[in-house]
Amino acid sequence: MNGSFDGEGGVAGAHRDTAQVDMSMAPPRASGPVGVPGARLVTPSPTAASRPVPGPRDVVDGPIPLPTTESVPLDLICTVERHLDEILAAVPQPHPIELAVLDAQGLLCAEEVESRRALPAFDQAALDGYAARADDVEAATPQVPVELAVVGETVAGAGAEASIGPGLAVKVAAGAMLPTGADVVVPAVWTDQGTVRVAVQSGPPPGGYVRRTGEDVAPGDVAVQVGTPIGPAQISLLAAVGRERVLVRPRPRIAVLSAGTELVDIGTAPAPGQVVDVNSYALAAAARDAGAEAYRSGILPTDPRRLGEVLESQLLRSDLVLIAGTFATDGFDPVQEALATLGDMRFRQVTMHPGPAQGFGRLGRDEIPVICIPGEPVAALVAFEVFVRPAIRLMLGKRQLFRRTVQAVAGQELVSPLGYRQYLHGTVMRHPDGGYVVEPVGDGTEALLARMARANCLIVVDEDVTQVAAGGLVTVMPLLLGG
Amino acid sequence: MNGSFDGEGGVAGAHRDTAQVDMSMAPPRASGPVGVPGARLVTPSPTAASRPVPGPRDVVDGPIPLPTTESVPLDLICTVERHLDEILAAVPQPHPIELAVLDAQGLLCAEEVESRRALPAFDQAALDGYAARADDVEAATPQVPVELAVVGETVAGAGAEASIGPGLAVKVAAGAMLPTGADVVVPAVWTDQGTVRVAVQSGPPPGGYVRRTGEDVAPGDVAVQVGTPIGPAQISLLAAVGRERVLVRPRPRIAVLSAGTELVDIGTAPAPGQVVDVNSYALAAAARDAGAEAYRSGILPTDPRRLGEVLESQLLRSDLVLIAGTFATDGFDPVQEALATLGDMRFRQVTMHPGPAQGFGRLGRDEIPVICIPGEPVAALVAFEVFVRPAIRLMLGKRQLFRRTVQAVAGQELVSPLGYRQYLHGTVMRHPDGGYVVEPVGDGTEALLARMARANCLIVVDEDVTQVAAGGLVTVMPLLLGG
């Protein structure tokens, strides 16, 4: 029921819709000094489309060298949309599990929770006052109060049922059981708050300020529906109907691994040429942030037998395996070899920047999905956002798989390779005059961790756009922590 | 650096600013059939202010009976703002602790993390290609390529430094160490990708596609600053500079207790007059959602000696103690008595609805803050939002203590007691024509858990407003899960 306020936005604002350009099997040609059919420039003016198309940019000298899409074998090239669709079609829906209500926090309910109880379980006072008969107090006014004899007092939790007749009242605390015969609670503030006799200055209509048995939830009512996110209010309701445990969509278990001969663990001082494994840390954090139960399994061994053993054991205990690493497109790669023995693993050039080298397969006896993403840490976190986070949210049962996007004014010119969807880290801010302004944290060509850490969004530039002028509108995906 | 996108909104949109009416010690009079000075009606028209003020509502017959603010002793009455200010001024700032980087996720960095390393640690190829000398390839064009002899190949992780002279190139993978003598990497896609000799069609300028030592982070640079929220990108950077642990503002430890003679634990079938303790569950979930480490300590015992022992032990192990319960305003209350022996605990009527009965004090040897909130579960979650969540965020070191608010069009008339700030659960939706529309989930007078569970926001009606017409603007606080 969080509607458009769950931080993920409705379909209209979700990322998916902002980049629907289907490159399919025939991306536009983009090589050499010839014309660039299909290239689009985004300029500040809404009449830009009618302006003459500027001369072709020399792609060879562009700031982001990528293979021209025609130079890659067709069966290896793939759009972001197609690769994502394949992943989303293949991720399993983990079986619902029963958890203690507090452990269910943040997950989606996987059962129709029917209440076996009425809420409230008995007629009770909605506030502090006097239980009375509506007929007796109907005519009361501040000028001509009605006097009742106070024959007792009931506090919350007391079970002994009193009973009243005409002209009588029982002093009641909020939540106290209503005595038999009473059909109204006169708020204390409408009386002189007497203890032996009480002067009532106004009478509520019959049933006034009485919480009736079953008014909140009747036995058999569905208290929490399938698909409802379980937050504090749902936990309150589940506890009230006496549920200690509830069936939920579990957090998917995700093993996070790094591959690369250059990697050493964080505690080791890297030798010349070596670098610290940052991906298994950053991606485990990202997976946890997306709602998964992430296991950081560290750097994959290079010995083929041990490599195979590690991969197989991860497949046995995970709902999804995520591997960040450098996958050689030519020459021998021991990780690719090991994965190939476990099932059909497809490595591809996805038309995106950074990080076109992506892989996906379903491996092992249980056909566990395995997602391979680039080893360069900035590209790895981009690939996580684009492919892995939606997969985790799908496994969690969320309806909104994609982050909300907004249109923002580019604070400076952006360039983007033709035929590739570009993701740039940036900072987006509200503009004083309304709307948003975004600046890239670098020039978009360099993978720098310190810059990425200053970003609060990804700027998404479509495949057919090569240039966004300063002042032009661009799609921005705010990276809300926890969102 | 998440700026206006951390889900909490900037000062301009934060809740604090939307209800600055300072009721101070003299709330407007609101009793009886006399005129209602200061009452404000919100109507759809922007010219409403110039319309004649309608006749006074009869407060005695209003749907929400509350004591007229003048009927409560002045030293017991308090505005929302004053009670909140007192709590925020008194909550401690827990000492920073050192955590493993993955456990630091979601917390604020409490140190200036200076890097002892350069990132990158060595000059390296930014992409797959050929390490060469800029001078050699400067003149290359697709029409007149430059030929170089390929004298070796370096993969990522290899430490052996090769060296090249004029006319030579080394094939390099992205991340591979640059051979001595090379000052440029020619992208593979700008060449014929030869293995013995390579034809270069375009030469980058000197330094092109080389990631220089220290370009990302130089030794002595501050990688992560004090106050930065630690997310996946910061974890990536911390790992890269070799930090296994980092000093952070810890999650405050919060004990959550329920008080009330009517309460039984969730596993017990309630006898007539008894109700299940839902607050310790719902509030522990809410506290955890707000970022605290919450301990659900359950129902307080009624025996005075055991009650005292439980309270003292909670004070020893907590940064804040939260007690939800019915605190008698007249007559003996064992919890109030026990708290009074531990320090200065102030119980008050806060001018808010639901749940004016609120308490705060600093108790025990360490003067641990203790917040008492109403026992009625809807009022308890409202009080949590208003008083406890900002206190938790302050202890976490967050700059934005309050939820973002938006102005929304009321889908139906809302009434509110004069002199009290009213919080109504509602559902807010984006309007197709822009802006937001909000509907209360009930009529605002009844505390119903099932209705609360359908809400996605709180509607906030200021103290001086008694009525918001359908179509009028009202302040709305979206309750984002995890926000």
Q: What CA–CA distance (Å, rounded) separates A224 from B237?
A: 42
Last residue in a domain, options A154, A186, A211:
A211
- Of A240, A278, A326, Cβ closest to residue B236: A278
Whole-number pLDDT of residue B54: 29
Task: Count interface pairs A-B at CB distance under 8 A.
Answer: 354
Is A186 strand, coil or helix? strand
Exposed/middle/buried for residue B144 (C-beta within 10 Å: 0-12, 13-18, 19+): exposed
CATH for B153:
2.170.190.11
The overall average pLDDT reported for chain B is 84
Digit-coded pLDDT (tens) for A231-240: 999 999 999 9
Residue B158 neighbours by CB distance under 10 Å: 18
| Residue contact A285–B231, C-beta within 8 A | yes
pLDDT band, residue B70 (cuts 50/70/90) = low
Set of chain A residues whose Cβ sits within 8 Å of the Cβ of B119: 449-450
Whole-number pLDDT of residue A309: 95
| Residue contact A457–B5, C-beta within 8 A | yes
Is A22 strand, coil or helix? coil
- Span B274-290, average pLDDT: 95
Which residue is closest to A454 within chain B, CA to CA? B1
Which residue is closest to B431 within chain A, CA to CA? A4
Q: Which of A120, A210, A175 is closest to B328 using CA atoms? A: A175
Whole-number pLDDT of residue B1: 37
For residues B288 and B342, state if they share a domain. Answer: yes
B32/B381: higher pLDDT:
B381
Whole-number pLDDT of residue B443: 64
| Residue contact A449–B281, C-beta within 8 A | no
Sign of the dihedral defined by the CA atoms of residues B75, B76, B81, B85, in that order: positive
| Residue contact A233–B67, C-beta within 8 A | no
Q: Which of A54, A49, A55, A58 is closest to A30 using CA atoms? A: A58
pLDDT at B430 over 50: yes
pLDDT band, residue B417 (cuts 50/70/90) = confident
Q: Which of B231, B212, B234 is closest to B223 using CA atoms? A: B234
Q: Is A117 domain-assigned?
A: no
| Residue contact A430–B4, C-beta within 8 A | yes
Whole-number pLDDT of residue A77: 85
- Of B65, B224, B451, Cβ closest to residue A189: B65
- Start-to-end CA distance of chain A, whole Å, equals 16
pLDDT band, residue A14 (cuts 50/70/90) = very low
Give the lowest-confidence range in A150-164, A349-363, B88-102: A150-164
pLDDT at B400 over 80: yes
Whole-number pLDDT of residue A213: 93
Alpha carbon A347 to chain centroid, angstroms: 28
Asked if B294 and B317 count as a contact pair (C-beta separation under 8 A), the reply is no
Structural domains in chain B (count):
4
Q: What CA–CA distance (Å, rounded) separates B13 from A478?
A: 18
Cis bond upstream, residue A120 (ω within 30):
yes
pLDDT at B112 over 50: yes
What is the token pair recorded at A412?
Answer: 């400076």
Whole-number pLDDT of residue B461: 95
Whole-number pLDDT of residue A62: 55
Set of chain B residues whose Cβ sits within 8 Å of the Cβ of A160: 273
What is the least distance, in Å, from the CA of B51 to any CA of chain A? 31
Q: What CA–CA distance (Å, rounded) separates B125 from B8?
A: 41
| Residue contact B71–A266, C-beta within 8 A | no
CATH for B101:
3.90.105.10
What is the least distance, in Å, from the CA of B231 to any CA of chain A? 7
Q: Is A244 domain-assigned?
A: yes
pLDDT at A229 over 70: yes
- Of A61, A173, A266, Cβ closest to residue B202: A61
pLDDT at A116 over 70: yes
Give the lowest-confidence range in B150-154, B193-197, B215-219, B332-336: B332-336
| Cα A372 to Cα A50, A125, A357, A421, B101, distances in angstroms | 42, 61, 8, 19, 24
pLDDT band, residue B276 (cuts 50/70/90) = very high
For residues A147 and A203, state if they share a domain. Answer: yes
- Strands B473-478 and B406-410: what pairing? antiparallel
- Of B119, B232, B284, Cβ closest to residue A102: B284
To test the contact with chain B by mutation, choose from A58, A195, A237 the residue with the greatest count of B C-beta atoms within 10 A, namely A237
| Residue contact A266–B242, C-beta within 8 A | yes
For residues B133 and B185, state if they share a domain. Answer: yes
Give the lowest-confidence range in B65-69, B284-288, B363-367: B65-69
Q: Which of A415, A434, A424 is closest to A475 using CA atoms? A: A424
What is the least distance, in Å, from the CA of A75 to any CA of chain B? 19
Set of chain A residues whose Cβ sits within 8 Å of the Cβ of B476: none
pLDDT at B92 over 70: yes
Q: What CA–CA distance (Å, rounded) separates A231 from A365?
A: 36
Digit-coded pLDDT (tens) for B330-351: 567 888 889 999 999 999 999 9
Whole-number pLDDT of residue B77: 84
Which residue is closest to B9 within chain A, CA to CA? A430
- Span B123-128, average pLDDT: 89
What is the token pair recorded at A47?
Answer: 């009449």
- Of A157, A281, A454, Cβ closest to residue B236: A281
- Of B187, B239, B480, Cβ closest to residue A65: B187
HEC readout, chain B:
CCHHHCCCCCHHHEHHHHHCCCCCCCCCCCCCCCCCCCCEEECCCCCHHHCCCCCCCCHHHCCCCCCCHHHCCHHHEECHHHHHHHHHHHCCCCCCEEEEHHHHCCCEECCCEECCCCECCCCEECCCEEEECHHHHCCCCCCCCEEEEEEEEECCCCCCCCECCCCEEEEECCCCECCECCCEEEEHHHECCCCCEEEECCCCCCCCCEECCCCCECCCCEEECCCCECCHHHHHHHHHCCCCEEEECCCCEEEEEEECCCEECCCCCCCCCCEECCHHHHHHHHHHHCCCEEEEEEECCCCHHHHHHHHHHHHHHCCEEEEEECCCCCCCCHHHHHHHCCEEEEEEEECEECCCEEEEEEECCCCEEEEEECCCHHHHHHHHHHHHHHHHHHHHCCCCCCCECEEEEECCCEECCCCCEEEEEEEEEECCCCCEEEEECCCCCCCCHHHHCCCCEEEEECCCEEEECCCCEEEEEECCCCC
Which residue is closest to B425 within chain A, CA to CA? A233
Digit-coded pLDDT (tens) for B236-247: 999 999 999 999
pLDDT at A11 over 80: no
- Of B233, B260, B480, Cβ closest to residue A452: B233
B443/A253: higher pLDDT:
A253
- Span B438-460, average pLDDT: 85
For residues B398 and B410, state if they share a domain. Answer: no
| Residue contact B260–A427, C-beta within 8 A | no
Largest Cα–Cα separation, chain B: 100
For residues A174 and A163, state if they share a domain. Answer: yes
Set of chain B residues whose Cβ sits within 8 Å of the Cβ of A232: 282-283, 285-286, 289, 381, 384
For residues A336 and A464, state if they share a domain. Answer: no
Which residue is closest to B449 within chain A, CA to CA? A237
pLDDT at B288 over 50: yes
Whole-number pLDDT of residue A59: 38
- Strands A168-172 and A146-154: what pairing? parallel
For residues A38 and A84, state if they share a domain. Answer: no
Whole-number pLDDT of residue A434: 84
B37/A2: higher pLDDT:
B37
pLDDT at A56 over 50: no
- Span B426-447, average pLDDT: 83
| Residue contact B456–A5, C-beta within 8 A | yes
Which residue is closest to A68 within chain B, CA to CA? B189
For residues B2 and B84, state if they share a domain. Answer: no
pLDDT band, residue B72 (cuts 50/70/90) = low
Which residue is closest to A294 within chain B, CA to CA? B102
Asked if A224 and A230 count as a contact pair (C-beta separation under 8 A), the reply is yes
Whole-number pLDDT of residue B330: 59
Backbone phi, then psi, for A136, in 5-degree steps?
Answer: -65, -35
pLDDT at A223 over 70: yes
Digit-coded pLDDT (tens) for A266-298: 989 899 889 999 999 999 999 999 999 999 999
What is the least distance, in Å, from the CA of B251 to any CA of chain A? 16
pLDDT at A72 over 90: no
For residues B284 and B396, state if they share a domain. Answer: yes
pLDDT at B100 over 70: yes
CATH for A313:
3.40.980.10
Q: Which of B441, B423, B410 is closest to B358 using CA atoms? A: B423
- Span A1-17, average pLDDT: 39
Last residue in a domain, options A348, A372, A396:
A396
Beta bridge partners of B347: B359
To test the contact with chain B by mutation, choose from A61, A137, A230, A281 the residue with the greatest count of B C-beta atoms within 10 A, namely A281
- Of B189, B284, B427, Cβ closest to residue A65: B189
Whole-number pLDDT of residue B476: 96
What is the least distance, in Å, from the CA of B452 to any CA of chain A? 6
pLDDT at B55 over 70: no
Asked if B323 and B380 count as a contact pair (C-beta separation under 8 A), the reply is no
Place of tokens 């319309």: B51
To test the contact with chain A by mutation, choose from B258, B278, B333 the residue with the greatest count of A C-beta atoms within 10 A, namely B278
Digit-coded pLDDT (tens) for A398-420: 989 999 899 999 999 998 888 99
- Of A101, A121, A235, Cβ closest to residue B270: A121
Alpha carbon A29 to chain centroid, angstroms: 37
Q: What CA–CA distance (Å, rounded) separates A347 from A372?
A: 8
pLDDT band, residue B372 (cuts 50/70/90) = very high
Set of chain B residues whose Cβ sits within 8 Å of the Cβ of A202: 60-61
Q: What CA–CA distance (Å, rounded) separates B119 from B218?
A: 6
Q: Find all residues with CB under 8 Å of B472, minimum gap 6, and list them.
A: B42, B43, B44, B409, B410
Q: What CA–CA distance (Å, rounded) separates A224 from B426?
A: 17
pLDDT at A2 over 60: no
What is the token pair recorded at B272?
Answer: 């007539």
- Of B1, B237, B238, Cβ closest to residue A456: B1
Q: Which of B318, B317, B322 is closest to B361 using CA atoms? A: B322
Set of chain B residues whose Cβ sits within 8 Å of the Cβ of A189: 65-68, 71
Asked if B401 and B390 count as a contact pair (C-beta separation under 8 A), the reply is yes
Q: Which of A42, A95, A158, A50 is closest to A409 using CA atoms? A: A42
| Cα B57 to Cα B44, B61, B63, B411, B417, distances in angstroms | 19, 8, 11, 22, 10
- Span B152-176, average pLDDT: 84
Q: Find all residues with CB under 8 Å of B464, minimum gap 6, and list them.
A: B21, B28, B38, B39, B40, B418, B419
ipTM above 0.95, yes or no: no
pLDDT at B445 over 50: yes
pLDDT at B56 over 60: no
| Residue contact B236–A276, C-beta within 8 A | no
| Cα B167 to Cα B132, B150, B159, B191, B349, distances in angstroms | 8, 9, 23, 15, 86
Domain hosting residue A321, numbered range: 72-94+251-396
To test the contact with chain A by mutation, choose from B57, B70, B161, B189 the residue with the greatest count of A C-beta atoms within 10 A, namely B189
Q: Crossing angle, helix A232-240 and helix B279-289, to 10 degrees? A: 160
Whole-number pLDDT of residue A345: 92
- Of A10, A157, A273, Cβ closest to residue B273: A157
A272/B369: higher pLDDT:
B369
Q: Is A42 domain-assigned?
A: yes
Digit-coded pLDDT (tens) for B6-30: 333 333 334 453 333 222 222 333 3
- Of B7, B32, B430, Cβ closest to residue A483: B7
Last residue in a domain, options A396, A418, A449:
A396
- Strands B357-363 and B368-373: what pairing? antiparallel
To test the contact with chain B by mutation, choose from A115, A262, A349 the residue with the greatest count of B C-beta atoms within 10 A, namely A262
HEC readout, A55-95:
CCCCHHHCCCCCCCHHHCCHHHEECHHHHHHHHHHHCCCCC
DSSP A217-275: B-TT-EEE-TT-B--HHHHHHHHHTT-SEEEEPPPPEEEEEEE-TTEE-TTSPPPTT-E
For residues A106 and A235, state if they share a domain. Answer: yes
| Residue contact B453–A237, C-beta within 8 A | yes
For residues B391 and B322, state if they share a domain. Answer: yes
Asked if A370 and A339 count as a contact pair (C-beta separation under 8 A), the reply is yes
In this prediction, what percent of chain B has a pLDDT beyond 70?
Answer: 81
Whole-number pLDDT of residue B384: 98
Set of chain A residues whose Cβ sits within 8 Å of the Cβ of B68: 189
Beta bridge partners of B229: B108
What is the least distance, in Å, from the CA of B365 to any CA of chain A? 31
B383/A18: higher pLDDT:
B383
* Eight-state DSSP code of residue A33: T
For residues B332 and B460, state if they share a domain. Answer: no
